[in-house]
Amino acid sequence: METSKQNRAPPSVWMVMVGYNCIEDTLEALESLQRSTYGNLHPIFVDNGSSDESYKIVQEKVPNTDIIRIKDNIGFARANNIGIQHAMKRGADYVFMINNDVEAAPDMVTRLVDAAGASDSIGLAVPKIYYYDEPRIIWSAGCRYRKFPPIIKLNDTKDEDDGRFDEMLQVDFITTCAVLIKRSVIEEIGLLDPNCFLYWEDYDLSVRVRKAGFILHHVPGAHLWHKVSRTTQKGKPNPGVWRIRGRSKAVFCRMHPQYGAICFPGYPLLASLGFLLSGKSSIISAFCAGYKEGKTGPLKPLPTWTDELSDSGEMIRTV
């Protein structure tokens, strides 16, 4: 006898959250997702070389969470890849990548799964993301490509949400702050680009998903609140972070020449002038060095989810 549709378990969603220090934010994010109304959600926490032993605190305070520890910080993309591979091996129907500095609405995952499951052409789904400190102002409702001046720009608002993005369902780009990805998409296009230590891995993912023929779907009714780069924006501008930014941006343009206008000739000079005028002269040399690395340095191949990853991490707990 065939199991009725009503009695079937909902698709399995394996959530991957990468953390690098900031344990208070991580706990708050995980606890908000513990309140999710979705009935088949499985959290994975990947501790990406935290110095505060985040994995031990999550192990103690957040039950029913798989925990993977990576000894040294290997970057956002590669750490997520370890979590994604674990999720795929556990049979995930969907992989949900989410930042560790967010708070989710209880029905967010349910709304994302419902939207993604409505059509085989939808490859991934993203929520409407508000600022945590200004909870009615939109940080991102997906992203778009602007040809002049060339830039990938967040769909955001300066003031309170006025409904302008409520009818926008298909977008050009997404951020990996929070994104639900179908298993079939990962099977077809592989994992995140390991050449992007941090930044631009989301835009690279967006291009590859669209190239494979899938739609990037924004779900206006799914809501998330984001603290916005708590890890990288504390204190004075960090030259190391800006070197990574420069490198990742150049790698993206190199991998996707159709967007090469973003890295137009003379761009490093113009960027340096912008940094100088904004009082960030201390990061100019680091940014330009990273940009040069991304333009000319050797690149790692894109991994598939079945590849043996060089950094598999240590499995601390499986549930």
- Could you tell me if 126 and 179 are in contact, meaning their C-beta atoms sit under 8 angstroms apart? yes
Cβ neighbors of 127 (< 8 A, separation 6 or more) are: 104, 108, 111, 112, 178, 219, 222, 223, 224
Q: Which CATH class is domain 9-230?
A: alpha beta
CA distances from 295 to 77, 238, 244, 271 (A): 19, 21, 13, 15
- Could you tell me if 194 and 75 are in contact, meaning their C-beta atoms sit under 8 angstroms apart? yes
| Count of C-beta atoms within a 10 Å radius of residue 4 | 7
Cβ neighbors of 69 (< 8 A, separation 6 or more) are: 47, 55, 313, 314, 316
| Count of C-beta atoms within a 10 Å radius of residue 52 | 15
- Per-residue pLDDT tens, the chain, 319 aa: give them: 444 556 688 999 999 999 999 999 999 999 999 999 999 999 999 999 999 999 999 999 999 999 999 999 999 999 999 999 999 999 999 999 999 999 999 999 999 999 999 999 999 999 999 999 999 999 999 999 999 989 999 999 999 999 999 998 999 999 999 999 999 999 999 999 999 999 999 999 999 999 999 999 999 999 999 999 766 655 578 999 999 999 999 999 999 999 999 999 999 999 999 999 999 999 999 999 999 999 999 999 999 999 999 888 999 999 9
* CA atoms of 159 and 311, how far apart (whole Å): 43
Could you tell me the end-to-end alpha-carbon distance of the chain, in angstroms, rounded to an integer? 31
- Could you tell me if 65 and 30 are in contact, meaning their C-beta atoms sit under 8 angstroms apart? yes
| Count of C-beta atoms within a 10 Å radius of residue 234 | 9
* CA atoms of 102 and 104, how far apart (whole Å): 7
In degrees, to the nearest 5, what angle opens at C-alpha 297 toward C-alphas 295 and 300? 110
Longest CA span, the chain: 71
- What would the two tokens of residue 62 be? 């957040």
The burial class, CB within 10 Å (0-12 / 13-18 / 19+), for 227 is buried
Q: What is the pLDDT of residues 213-231, one digit of tens each?
A: 999 999 999 999 999 976 6
> pTM here?
0.95
Per-residue confidence (pLDDT) for residue 5, from 0 to 100: 54
In the chain, domain spans: 9-230, 239-296
Its sign, for the CA torsion 299, 197, 285, 251, is positive
